[in-house]
Structure 1
Amino acid sequence: MPREDHRPPAASPPDPPSRAEGDERWLTTGVGSVGVTSFLSDSGHEIATSVLPGFVTGTLHGSAASLGLIEGVSDALTGVLKLVGGPLANDPRRRRRLATGGYLGTAVATGAIGLATTVWQVGVLRALAWSARGLRGPAKDSLLASLAPPRAFGRAYGLERAGDNLGAVVGPLAAAGLVAWLGVRPAIWFAFLPGLLAAVAITVAAREARRRHADGDREPIRLRFAGLRDAGLLRPLLPVLLFEFGNLAVTLLILRATELLHTGGRTAAAAASLAILIYAAHNAVAAVTAYAGGHWIDRAGPRLVFAAGAALFVLAYAGFAAGPSSWWVLCGFFALAGAGIGCAETAESALVARLLPDRLRGSGFGLLGAVQAAGDVVATVVAGVLYTAVSPAAGFLYAAGWMLLSLLGAAALAPGRPAAATAPRPPR
């Protein structure tokens, strides 16, 4: 008989590190689809937004006041619906349906504006489009967090913000070409096409999320404010609120540039055209900075990148307050503002994704969206009044002051350690 071998079996070699442990797998089909969704959707509604002033005042013979009312009501509804959509997006099944339906609803309502024959019809359709846009926001952001690995939240949200800002470059340029080729109404109809493609792209992302994650029990529809507080979200949101109190609508930047450029024999039309081109460059810088800032967030944390964004805005607004008339100097200040928004928006989204578990992220993104919307309305209204009643410099210095306070607030949070990197406590 052969002698029995009592030697212990040889140890098996360790498993090679999986691709999921490396950085090469953060850019999955789902993450990329969300970035493409933001690009397509923003391209579509920027086509309509660019044409809307001429359509309301020229084609439908409405007033500037009616246009302002339409935009004001629509923006307010966006903020309210983000807060409403947050608790709905806590549940994975609902968030997938909200994301797909929200993008489709925005596309249909935006394209239908081109069929309107009265100003009030434009107002209703714009409100519907912007309501769907607000409702889908927390669902899209929560969906992205479920698709990206935690170590790459910065890069994932940087890619999404880059897509959104690139859409703000392509949309106005496409609108100019469509108006020259087909006219105002057909240009608005064409806004439906990229919106429809955005709905298809987000559906691809939703299907990947469904394959990768079991749905589990259905989450109740509640804001879960106590859970957000216990997870440590409220304190880091204070610098965000201060930031948004100084985050002016870009229309004020374009107005300031147009006025400053209307010198030296340059006509008002030429000044306006040049200001719009500079604004397109602003969006391009924002796209590049958002993507680069996302990589920075994954190395240093959201707090530092957010503070950098606030500092860039302080410099940009100080420049607009000084009032240079040189186009290339103004382009530099627009670039600073673009870099600032690219850093700040990416950091804000990554902050929420890092701090909160999946079942609270919808509520967190909804609260963030409400803070952003409320702050932006206050910032633009107050600065606009100061701009008109006192001077343009007063309006921009007011906004710069809030940005400086935001910078100081971010610096005061957990020095040497990103606030968003702290381990969240279990929600109640």
Structure 2
Amino acid sequence: MVEAVDESVNAAGEKDGRRWLTPGVAGIGSASFLADVGHEVPTALLPSLLTSSLSASAAALGVIEGVSDGLAGAARLAGGALADDPGRRRKVAVGGYTITAALGALIGAATSVWQVALLRAGAWTARGLRVPARNALLADVVPASAYGRAYGFERAMDNFGAIFGPLLALGLVALVGVKWATGLSVIPGVLAALAIVYAIRRAPRAEQRERQPIRLRLRPVLRGRLGRLLAGIAAFEVGNVAATLLILRATEQLTPAHGTEAATRLALVLYIGYNIAATIASIPAGRLADRLGTRGPVLVLTAGVVLFALAYAGFAASTASLVLLAVPFVLAGVGIGAVETAEHAAVAVLAPVDARGSAFGVLATVQALGNVAASAISGVLWTAVSPTAAFGYLVGWMLLALVGLLATARR
């Protein structure tokens, strides 16, 4: 699979005389696709497994997911400290993908709620640990002039996995049931670990360094241009609400005209469109970032924030039209494809090489904590005031992020 991807896509990337889709980049992109398929299957089936098979409540599901997400966020900081060392980051990447696959699949064999909770928390902790290592490893295997395209390819493959994974879950449930479907998710997860091993074997030899104590290097990350960039990213992430709230907004607005069941299906179709838009937009966004030079990633990130502001303004409006609802979903999908690609490329460009792991760890933690804050506060505003107030609040954060990013780009 990795070789096929390398041959089919790289021709377009060689038009400017630079080979950007190296075997290492193709391996990491394939790992992102396979890993996302692997963990989307148990994620999609977890509610059914808990409530139907183990007779758990919705509250139990919420606690398990909340604790797991919190541990994943904390693990990203720890993973950043581990990933500063080139040799250590390779071990963390392989171990993270392998452990996530094994623990996620074992959820299918769980016989009690506490077992599910431990396995889910362990899988999400390993997933958080590997994120900075993967992103730093990607910067190792591609020239700096092609960071945008490399991270765009990785994001496109990850988003494609988010589309394919739930569809695979539906097919597996129809064939073998929920428990076996969850167990079989180990296969794409293990293939993801093998893809990372493939990428590492084709990466430049890790620089031999004197082994340093494991510590998060915050000072070189938070000062200068990188610090200003992270401040703008933080403003964006505090307004980057979970996609589930977008689905809820569409469902509520479509229900009066279509009924609850039809509205739910239509909202899921719109969400699939969101993921497709993100997948398609990622590589062109990365290519544009590379062509615009050193400020390219920040400019593409700024454009993505503008698209989010327009999307949230669309969600704030009341409409029962499926077409009008599709517009903000597509805008948000293109926006997230551009933003995620540009965030990673910008950090790779600006971070000191010996603190690159810490930089990606801080970025991943800002993303996780910002998303939690955005979803929590928006949910309160939604309930206490109105959905329009919630999305108006999010537009405000997009405008604040826009000011910060424009200032960073000028400097």
Q: Which runs of 5+ in 2 are unaligned?
A: 1-12
**Cross-structure match for 2:229:** 236
Residue identity matched to 2:386: S
State which drifts further: 225-234 or 45-54: 225-234
CA RMSD of aligned residues (A): 1.7
CA distance in 1, matches of 2:409, 2:306: 18
Size of the alignment, in residue pairs? 396
CA distance in 1, matches of 2:190, 2:359: 27
How far the C-alpha of 1:20 sits from its partner, in A, is 10
**Cross-structure match for 1:94:** 88
Among 257, 264, 279, which residue is 2:250 paired with?
257
**Cross-structure match for 2:363:** 368
- 1:175 equivalent to 2:169? Answer yes
Percent of residue pairs bearing the same amino acid type: 52
How far the C-alpha of 1:225 sits from its partner, in A, is 1.8
- 1:26 equivalent to 2:15? Answer no
How far the C-alpha of 1:317 sits from its partner, in A, is 0.9
Among 240, 247, 251, which residue is 1:247 paired with?
240
How far the C-alpha of 1:213 sits from its partner, in A, is 4.0
**Cross-structure match for 1:294:** 286
How far the C-alpha of 1:261 sits from its partner, in A, is 1.8
How far the C-alpha of 1:219 sits from its partner, in A, is 3.7
**Cross-structure match for 1:7:** none
Residue identity matched to 1:381: A
Write the mapping of 1:30-49 to structure 2, written as runs, cut at 5 A.
30-49=24-43
Q: Contact between 1:231 and 1:356, CA under 8 Å: does it hold in 2?
A: no
CA distance in 2, matches of 1:399, 1:74: 25
CA distance in 1, matches of 2:285, 2:72: 26
- 1:79 equivalent to 2:111? Answer no
**Cross-structure match for 2:6:** none
**Cross-structure match for 2:103:** 109
CA distance in 1, matches of 2:22, 2:208: 20
- 1:314 equivalent to 2:306? Answer no
Residue identity matched to 2:342: A
Among 144, 147, 151, which residue is 2:141 paired with?
147
Among 295, 304, 307, which residue is 2:299 paired with?
304
CA 1:222–1:259: 2 relative to 1, 3 Å:
same
CA 1:219–1:150: 2 relative to 1, 3 Å:
farther
How far the C-alpha of 1:174 sits from its partner, in A, is 1.1
CA deviations on 1:191-210 (whole Å, 9 max, x unpaired) are 1111111000011111222x
Residue identity matched to 2:275: N
- 1:354 equivalent to 2:349? Answer yes
Among 327, 333, 343, which residue is 1:332 paired with?
327
How far the C-alpha of 1:107 sits from its partner, in A, is 0.4
Q: TM-score w.r.t. structure 1 length?
A: 0.89
**Cross-structure match for 1:214:** 207
Among 275, 282, 287, which residue is 2:274 paired with?
282
How far the C-alpha of 1:403 sits from its partner, in A, is 1.1
CA 1:258–1:21: 2 relative to 1, 3 Å:
closer
CA deviations on 1:197-252 (whole Å, 9 max, x unpaired) are 1000011111222x444333334312122222456321111110000000101111
Q: Contact between 2:241 and 2:371, CA under 8 Å: does it hold in 1?
A: yes
Residue identity matched to 2:71: L
Secondary structure, counterpart of 2:359 in structure 1: helix
CA distance in 2, matches of 1:77, 1:30: 29
CA distance in 2, matches of 1:184, 1:267: 28
- Asked which structure has the greater CA Rg, the reply is 1
- 1:225 equivalent to 2:224? Answer no
Secondary structure, counterpart of 1:61 in structure 2: coil
Secondary structure, counterpart of 1:339 in structure 2: helix
Residue identity matched to 1:215: Q
**Cross-structure match for 2:9:** none
CA 1:232–1:222: 2 relative to 1, 3 Å:
farther
Residue identity matched to 2:278: A
Write the mapping of 1:192-207 to structure 2, written as runs, cut at 5 A.
192-207=186-201
How far the C-alpha of 1:257 sits from its partner, in A, is 1.3
CA distance in 2, matches of 1:214, 1:174: 40
Residue identity matched to 1:351: A
CA 1:231–1:91: 2 relative to 1, 3 Å:
farther
Q: Contact between 2:87 and 2:207, CA under 8 Å: does it hold in 1?
A: no
CA distance in 1, matches of 2:192, 2:117: 23
CA deviations on 1:303-323 (whole Å, 9 max, x unpaired) are 111111111111111111113
CA 1:70–1:414: 2 relative to 1, 3 Å:
same
Higher helix proportion: 2
How far the C-alpha of 1:24 sits from its partner, in A, is 3.5
Among 188, 191, 205, which residue is 2:182 paired with?
188
CA distance in 1, matches of 2:51, 2:384: 25
Q: Contact between 1:169 and 1:281, CA under 8 Å: does it hold in 2?
A: no
**Cross-structure match for 2:7:** none
CA distance in 2, matches of 1:97, 1:386: 43
Q: Contact between 2:225 and 2:408, CA under 8 Å: does it hold in 1?
A: no
CA distance in 2, matches of 1:251, 1:289: 21
- 1:120 equivalent to 2:114? Answer yes
Secondary structure, counterpart of 2:241 in structure 1: coil
CA distance in 1, matches of 2:304, 2:173: 35
CA 1:94–1:231: 2 relative to 1, 3 Å:
farther
Q: Contact between 1:231 and 1:355, CA under 8 Å: does it hold in 2?
A: no
CA distance in 2, matches of 1:174, 1:407: 38
CA distance in 2, matches of 1:94, 1:405: 37
Residue identity matched to 1:248: V
